[in-house]
Amino acid sequence: MSKPTHRSFADDLRGRDDAALAALLAARPDLLSPVPPDISALAARANSTPSISRALDTLNQWELEVLELMACLEEPVSLEEVERYTKVPSSNVIAHLYRLCLLYKDQGAYRIPRGVRETFGPELCGLGQRLGSRVEKIDLKKAPDASQEMLKKLTWGPSRGSVKDLKNPGPGMQWLLDNKILVIADSHHVMLPAENAIALRGDKVHHEYHSVEPLLIGEHVKDADRAGAHEAATFLMWVEDLLEAWSREPGSALRSGGMSIRELKRAAQLLGVTEACAAFVAESAFAIGLVSIDMDDRILPTTAYDLWLARTPVERWREIAAQWLITSRTAGLCAPREGKGVAPLGPELDRAAAPGLRALTLELLATHADLAPTLDSLIDLVAWNRPRRAKHLQAEFVEWTVREAHWLGITGRGAFTSFARQLLADEEPTSLANQLPPLIDHVLLQGDHTAIAPGPLYPEIFREISLMAEVESRGTATVFRFSEKSLRHALDMGYDAEKIEAFIKKTSKTDVPQSLTYQIHDIAKRYGRLRVGAMHSYLRCDDEAILAEAMQDKRLVALELRRLAPTVIISPAPLEEVLETLRSNGYAPAAEGNDGLTTLTSPSAKRSKSRPRPPRLIGDYSIPTPELLTAALRALRTGEHVSTQQRTLPPLAKTPRTTASDTLRFLQEMSGTGGSLWIGYADTDGGLTHRIIEPMAIAAGYVTAFDQISGEIKRFAIARISGVAQLDS
């Protein structure tokens, strides 16, 4: 008597129409990489463990529980049987699982593909092996107390229990074996079969079913856009401040790559933020190529930073935020709560799960307009949507995403902003432009030598005034302070007193204080009277009194000054060290060129000479376009047609033989009609092979045809065709 057969997974796929196959390929895009040659190959790929794992990762908790339930029951499983266990309508869930090919149909019921069972592993839901017996109810009224105690430990898993001596297992276990509630698994273990465990659980596979999505709990806010726009503007300010600081004094990087701990602390102190926030700012700039680590382990802005500054604030924000949505780099790892963090800008920040969890978190926030949810309720909701991932790891990713969304202005006061929704929809964030204050081109000078910018300055004005004045505070209004140090810095950059005064008069809407004018000209008058060159260094001054003062200044002992001539002093210290020491002690030296005449100016902004290497992206497969789906379906159908014909082809010995005239006549009749011909074709080595072609044109002894087996258009020599036969379509 032959073993009964059932419908295969591949047969189910062959029975699906184009719409169903397109829905499958759209939901599981990994099946398209590359496009399978036929349905059998598609079935094999859809049944592979990696592809099934990706599909299972997209299921929410309710969908996963239904699939696990069906995998624990005897196949085939009907919809009615599923709903008998769940007590909840399950048709929509089963339809979704069928659409994903995690189930397939067999005579009105459903079966589980072999690959799904292998991915779940043994003892799913704490259940042991099925024996195929049907159990209605197990009566334990007469069972000894020891037997009932054993069943309490085995009912909800694990299903196996160890036994020291099966010949003398004890009265409790012996009663369970005699009543066939337990079976012997091996010489040292007994097992509770799945059928018995389900009956003991009260016809349950899970303790409970979570068919309802958890609710987000939080506070409703009304001014999310305004708060988010403020955060967005602040974040752009942080990026500019950090990169301007690195352009003046490059940051230090580790030899292994990434920012050093000292550099991270320095960046955090500069921006007035936490180290975690400073790491995220640096990572955001690095992700879009604004920062690079050069061969000397220095962190420097790239030339792309200058182009970025030339854009509008909305364009700058969008570029950073759009990259953050898709990046696999996880800045939250840089400052964990416990233990050592990973270096920002380093090679160890990629996490494949980051883009998916970030996208899911933002999607859930976007669907709850004007709600600032609590972190715990958001973590629970994400865990329900992605139950296969460890909840404690997901909780960290969710917390980092919420924190970074706040810094970027994606959320305002915890609620999703309208311009963030536009960003997710790949639209222009016009609502952000409406919320950001307009750029201004002026400051208000005060009597205490401070200048107040009552709004965001144009980038070129901000950068120029930053060369002359120190930024005292940033915010809605920026406060600059002109000091002796900042004015000396402007002179080092190549400005003179007239240029500084002209810029201040042009930029300020208030009168320039006379005391500031005096200070500018006084510093400029003293600037450069003392010259420093490389000797390592030398100091030159026409005023011998200044050199005498420097020689006797105890604060300059470390420079080891030695008089070479009445107007020249030399030092073994490097040029930069001499300049810095003199300036810090009240002198105003200028660097001198090798000709003794040129005054050297420091570069206003250092840039990395190495090309920026944007970090790689580790993510999942992208959703295929409609055009790609259409082409893939056509290739699948063509390949399936070819495979079917190949299976029904006669043996090679019966390859059709036709005369040359009949062969040419067949080819001419079929040319351009779209019909298929089976031909015997002699290869260059003399072997005879089968080909299935669609003739397109005949010329010069060759037929140009579409080769259905290779999927390419080829030319075939008519003289090498041994025979032709028409195939049924």
Q: Please give, one letter per residue, the 3-state secondary structure of 617-637.
A: CCCCCCCCCHHHHHHHHHHHH
Q: What is the pLDDT of residue 277?
A: 94
Residue type (1 letter), 44: A
**CA-derived radius of gyration, the chain:** 38
Q: What is the pLDDT of residue 628?
A: 86
Name 231's Cβ contacts closer than 8 Å, sequence gap at least 6.
406, 407, 408, 409, 412
**Sign of dihedral through CA atoms 199, 200, 206, 211?**
positive
Give the span between the Cα atoms of 255 and 295, in whole angstroms.
10
Give the span between the Cα atoms of 176 and 200, in whole angstroms.
13
**Sign of dihedral through CA atoms 111, 116, 122, 124?**
negative
Give the span between the Cα atoms of 461 and 453, in whole angstroms.
11
Which structure tokens are listed for 372?
């600032």
Contact present, 623 and 24 (Cβ < 8 Å): no
What secondary structure does DSSP assign to 481-517, as a single string?
E--HHHHHHHHHTT--HHHHHHHHHHHBSSPPPHHHH
Which structure tokens are listed for 190?
């007994």
Residue with tokens 């809605």: 476
Q: What is the pLDDT of residue 713?
A: 81
Give the span between the Cα atoms of 26 and 624, in whole angstroms.
6
Q: What is the pLDDT of residue 1?
A: 38
Give the span between the Cα atoms of 676 and 534, in whole angstroms.
85
Q: What is the pLDDT of residue 647?
A: 60
Q: What is the pLDDT of residue 471?
A: 83
Contact present, 103 and 40 (Cβ < 8 Å): no
The residue extents of the domains of the chain are: 9-126, 145-200, 225-435, 444-510, 531-591, 649-726
* Of 435, 438, 471, the residue nearest 231 (C-alpha): 435
Residue type (1 letter), 440: I
Judged by DSSP in three states, 416 sits in: strand
DSSP assignment letter at 329: B
Fold match, 9-126 / 649-726: no
Q: Which fold has domain 649-726?
A: SH3 type barrels. (2.30.30)
Q: Cα(first)–Cα(last) distance of the chain, in Å?
A: 37
Cα separations in angstroms, 390 against 210, 255, 387, 480: 17, 34, 8, 49
Name 243's Cβ contacts closer than 8 Å, sequence gap at least 6.
285, 290, 291, 301, 305
Judged by DSSP in three states, 703 sits in: strand
**Sign of dihedral through CA atoms 68, 71, 73, 77?**
positive
| Helix (H) or strand (E) run with residue 120 in it | helix 114-120
* Of 18, 12, 17, 7, the residue nearest 40 (C-alpha): 12
Q: What is the pLDDT of residue 652?
A: 46
The tens digit of pLDDT for each residue in 526-584 reads: 888 777 776 678 888 888 888 889 899 989 988 889 888 888 888 888 887 888 888 88
Residue with tokens 């296969």: 388
Contact present, 281 and 404 (Cβ < 8 Å): no
* Of 133, 250, 142, the residue nearest 199 (C-alpha): 133
Judged by DSSP in three states, 436 sits in: coil
| Backbone φ and ψ of 573, nearest 5° | -75, 150
Pick among 1.10.10.10, 3.40.50.2300, 1.20.120.140, 3.90.1170.50: CATH of 9-126: 1.10.10.10
Which structure tokens are listed for 195?
């059928």
Q: What is the pLDDT of residue 2?
A: 41
Strand pairing of 568-571 and 562-565?
A: antiparallel
pLDDT averages per 10-residue partition of the chain, 729 residues = 64 91 92 85 90 92 93 90 90 94 91 90 84 72 82 83 78 82 82 84 87 92 91 92 88 86 91 92 93 86 88 92 92 72 86 90 90 94 90 89 96 93 90 85 90 85 86 81 88 87 90 90 85 77 88 89 88 84 86 68 60 61 83 81 62 63 80 76 74 81 79 82 72
Which structure tokens are listed for 296?
């000397």
| Helix (H) or strand (E) run with residue 549 in it | helix 544-552
